[in-house]
Structure formats: structure tokens, C-alpha cells
Structure 1
Amino acid sequence: MYAWPASEVPALPGSGRDLRIHDTSTNGRVTLEPGPVARIYVCGITPYDATHMGHAATYNAFDLVQRVWLDTKRQVQYVQNVTDVDDPLLERARRDGVDWTGLAERETALFREDMTALRMLPPQHYIGAVEAIPGIVPLVERLRDAGAAYELDGDIYFSVAADPHFGEVSRLDAEAMRLLSAERGGDPDRPGKKNPLDPVLWLAARPGEPSWDGGTLGRGRPGWHIECVAIALDHLGMGFDVQGGGSDLAFPHHEMGASHAQALTGEHPFARTYVHAGMVALNGEKMSKSKGNLVFVSTLRREGVDPAAIRLALLAHHYRSDWEWTDEVLQEAEERLARWRAAVSRPDGPAAEGLLEEIREALADDLDAPAALAAVDRWAALQDSTGGTDEGAPGVVSRAVDALLGVAL
């Protein structure tokens, strides 16, 4: 599967700061110190309704991580999946009377278009669950043969007891895990399971549903968590720098994925740091496909909204915060974009070297994009009130905003 074209990242003078970021697994801030190649895995969409503002906010957060790393002169190895076969996708296809593969292809294509418009840097490896199945099957077989998985009516389940580190990602108690498992695709009440939290690794073929050759597992399709594990291990290996996604993925998805990988390899940790973005609401409720309260990037684009304004609306909120999308949020972003473009359109302006360092420091401080925006606002206001004599300043500001915030002025 192919990703989307990369926008050029302008070169900036000097070098950026190492990123200090909140780690879910320790509930504290850590300094990321990757080697020359920083490794990141971000969980992708299930392509049946893309791309809403919740998606956009999540991928914006991890785009900033990449940009901070690139500014430190590191290379970035970025991997993202597409869950192009799963229950929600199949249910939507049945509801709409369409072929599930066509639905997945259409929504994935739309997602690519939205990411391109928003200037999100693409992953080097963009892998669909279906194309990963040949690599998933042997992992499930290994877990089963090692006693870390078991069969139940033809389905294969992972035993969370097989990983002594289970629970260290989300730090939740058993009851909270059970409730979230029921809400987020698990089946804690299924009779016969060794532990209510045990997740499915391989789902035996069901009538009317797609299935693949699973070797000794029989025909079926993979569970949700093992998909990302197979892709991450294949392209990044154990101990990569950041596992990222929305806050609703901390449990069960990232918790289970870590345990799968750790049971497979005997190594710990799967990822060094777990980073999660907040949720976006509309009309007082979390924006979600199940509620149908979605604002789509593609809809706004069709209505003539500048993608740079959409991106500024996302950047105006700290990535870990939960916030609400409103018309006022977008209007403020459009007004900010107009002010910034007017400021950099002049032939000279106030000195900008200090501004570049302010943006770098803000982003290094747990991706504090609102503080970075405020710094640019101050420079633009000074430009508007007093101007300046530095002929290179507007260009420096324009390149800094593009390289570090992904906004083209």
C-alpha cells in the first residue's frame, strides 16, 4: 500500500531541541533521545469514515513529533497501518450495501488526500492489515505453540498471563480494563476464556465474512492488536522510540500490542514511550463514528476552507487536551492565518532569530503548539505596529512556520 506525497520541509539555521514529552506508561514527562534514526509507529485508521477532526488532531500531533526530530538533524523512520479488515468496516459495508474492499479503498484514498492537503509528513511504510496477513499468521502460531495463546471454538486467543509486564502501558486496574474492553471491541463476557481480558489473535472464518488461509490456524482473519505488532516488528523491531495514537488506544490496543510483542520476543519494552493525543468533541460529545457527530476535513475543503486554517485550528489546542470543535475555532484560525500571511508578505520586518528559538523551545516542551502560535502572533503584531528593517525576517518566519508547524504561508 502506498502513502501520500511528502511536502518539502525547509531547512532552518541551527538545530532543534530534544523533545520532552508525556509518556502514558510512566504518567510523566520523559526526554526522547533516539539515535541517528528515530523510530515511530502511529496507529492508522479503520477506513470506513475518514477523515474527521479527531483523526486530524491525532496525526497532527505525531507530525509535530517528526518535525521536531527532523529539526534535530535526525532521520525519521515512520510506520503507520491501515486496518482495512475489521468488524466496524464490515458492519458499515453491510449497512450501506457496498463491497467492503471498495469501501476501504475509497476511504483510504480520501484519507491520503486529506493528509496531503494538511501537509502531514507521510510514513515510509504504510501497511494494510490485509497485506500483513502473511506475516501475522506465523506470529500467532508461535504464540500458540509457546503456550501464550489458546483455542476457543476455532478462534485463537492471547493469554494476558503470558506477559509479566501486562498492564504497564495503561496502568489501569482490572475492573477498568474489563469495562473498556467491552466498550472497545473486546469480548470479556465470552464463556470459556481463561481471562476475561484475553484478546482474539485469529478469528475463525464466519459465513459471509472474508477469510484467509491461516496455515495451521485454519481459515480466518487477524485480530486487531496482532496486526500492528506484526507490522511494527517487521519494520521497526523491538524498543522503538514512540508508539502513538489517540488516548482511546492506550487500552486495549496499545496494552495488548505490547504484551503480544513481549511474549513473542521475550524482550521488554515493545516501545520505549507511549504518547496519546486527546479527543475532539462536537456539541458536547466526543467526536466518533458511532455517534455520527463528525466534522470531516474533506467536507471543509469542499466548502473552500484553506487546509492551512484547519491545521492552525488543530495547533491552537495542546495535543493531550480534550477540546471541542466549533465554528468559532475555525474562524479564529482563519483570522490568524490571514494575519500571518499579511505579516510575512512585507519585504522586511522585526528580527526573527529569537522567534525561531521560541518555537523550537515551545515544541520541545511536550509539543506546546499553542505557545508556538502565540510567539508567531507576537511577531506578527510587532510587524503590524512597528515594522522592522531586517530584510530576511519574513522569510525566516515563513520557513520556520512551514518546517516546524507544517503551515505554508
Structure 2
Amino acid sequence: MRTFSTIKELLAMLSREQKLITEIFEKRKMLSYKYDYALEVVDYNADKIQALLEYSVIRENGPFLELDDQYLHFFEQILEVNEEINVSYIQENLESIRQNIIYYLKENNENRKYSYLRAIKSSLRKTGVIAIRNVVDLKRNIDNTFKNEPNYKVKKVKLEHLDVKRSDISVLVDMTEKLVSDEEEQTFFKVAIDEELQQVILRLKLQLNECRHNLIEIQHQIIEFLNQLKYQSGLVEKIRQLKYLKDQFELKSKTNIIKVLQADNALTFEPKPTYPLKLSIEQLQNDSQLLTIVRKVASRMRSGVRIKQQLAENSLEEYLEADTQEVVQVNLEEVKNSFLAGSNNLFDFLQSYDFGAPLSFEECLTVYCQLISQFDLQFDLTEQYQTRQEIEYLLIYPKAT
């Protein structure tokens, strides 16, 4: 395995193969990105894929390719599309802050004290960002689980697990709040306080307060989702029991379904209303045109006349006529073997080769290009060119074995 020696080399590699890396990242959840797909993206240059494999940017998993874990995690974190909730990051940052505070208070050299102070500020910034991101990921995972998980039991377990994650994040938020509120490290925050540190702590407190409010909302959402699951599971179970009793012809004898349906006045059980149009006798007697219309409608209803559908003609001779088309197919493997057995250049060889059917100049030129694209490693590609019919072509000979 090779490693990058400079940042410039790393960025150059990622920039050069950004199209392939982007496509693999976008399809990271499909777990079926084949090597052949990658070859097509890099214009069939296998060396580019091999370079990414050697530098461990991507890795092979049988016939498939996938991003290495460290690059995948980096892209997900930067683009904020990570679905994994890892509360250990906050715990590690809190521990780092406590250790650097101890080093700061025991250090006499001003330069080294300042380096410890910078590390503390950096850890405080990261703590707020990680806390916010974990809360956002938690909310997104809860919504996705409730809406997209088809298995009821798995959905319930996932929501309960996410509730545990919510509780862990809430505990760490309280621990961070306690740390920066001068309750644990009063000496440090009195001695080392400066304007930048004050701004960092103020921003961190605002982020923690936002996290706390969102966690309360997430807790209510989880409770609501679990209650909905409980209600839905109970409803499904009742439907299954009713279906079983119906199949056993015991629904009426073992349940009070008739009584329940009779007591239910839902609109769906009401008969469909009809609104007949009743004409007055006086109107029929005085309006001759109306009477004529009624008689026409009545005659149509009593006639029983059905509209006959027109049938297609029986003559289908034109559809039964044979219409064939001959297509000439060239066996490239056989042509390649015949060419390797001779010594002539490829273009002249194709002009005199017996394909079993006459080929035009353009068709021979197509076969010439197909052979080069598929069997170039077995040919000797020279740097000499010739021209025929205003087409310049490369002189290619069989590779010496």
C-alpha cells in the first residue's frame, strides 16, 4: 500500500479522479458498484483505478468497488450526510479539554501554555459542532426509521435504541455545560480567560442551549412514534383475529360485530341516496316539447337495441408476408487470430480478408477500429501512418512473441 507524501499529491489525486470518486460516493448505499462501471467512467484506463487502489482511496470487494472507510467518513462528515450517531466524540473532546487544562495550569513556559490554550479553544469549538451535528443526525434517523422501516419489530427496536442515543447526548450536553460554567474548572477560567475564549464559550453555550431544546422535541417525537406503533400493532392484531374468525365461520357467534355495526352510524354504512326528477302533470300537459323528449327517452330504454361493434376485415395476408433482413456479423476473435498468424499490416490484411460476404470500405474501417480497441495489447502499434481514400490510418503489425 502506498501513502501520500504531501497534501498537494493527495489533492491532485482526488481532483484528477473526482468523477469516479463522486459516483462511488453517491452510490455508497447500493453496495453494488462494479469494477466494469468504474472502467467506463475512467474511459477504460485501468491504471487510474489501480492508482486509487494502491493509495487506498478505494478498495475492492470481490467484483465491486467501494470508498475506503476513512475517506467515506471524511466526505460524510464534511457534507453532513453521516447517519451514524457517535457520542464518543463529545466524550473524547471533554477529556481532551480537562487534560489540557491540567497541563496549562502546571506549565510555566508562556509559549507552551498558549499552545495548550489553543488546543482547549479548538476542542470547545469541535464540541459544539459535533453536538449540533449529532442532534441533526438523530432527528433524521428517527424520521427515516419511522417512515421507511417496513418491519414493525425492527422499527420499534431502532426507535428505542435512538432514544438511548438521545439520552446519551443529553447527558454529554449537561456535562459540557457544567464544564464551561466554571463549576468544575473555576481556576482555569479565571486565570486563562481572554476575549477569544469568552467568544468561544458564549457560542458553545448557545449551541448547547439549541441542542437541549431540540432534544426535548426529539423526545416528544419518539414517544409519539412509539405510541403510534403500539396503536397500529394492536389494530393489525385485531384485524388478524377477525380474519381468522371469519375464515372459520365463527365471526357472528364469537363476537358482537352485528351489534357494533348496528350502533355505528358512519356515513359509509348509509344507502346511496337517489334524487328522482319528478315532472308535474300540468307541465307535461302544457309543454309539448317536454313530452316529446320524455317519449324519446322512454323508447330508447325499452328498445333494447345494442350498438354493434364493427369487426375488422378477415384479410391478414399482408401481415403474413415474410419480411427478412440479412445482417452481416464479423467474428472479431477469428479475424484477430488470422491476422496474428500473418505478417501484413492490419489495414491491408482486412482489405484482402474473406469475411464470407463483401464489406464496404467504411465497414472494413469499423472492423479495424474494433480490433484495435479490444486487442491492442496483442498488436504492435507503430508510429507510421498511411492514407487511403482520404483516411489516415496507423500501421499495425502482429506483436512478436
TM-score bracket, shorter-length normalisation? under 0.3
> Which of the two has greater strand per residue?
1
TM-score w.r.t. length of structure 2: 0.20
Q: Which has the higher contact order (CA 8 A, sep 6+)?
A: 1
Larger Rg over CA atoms: 2
TM-score w.r.t. length of structure 1: 0.20
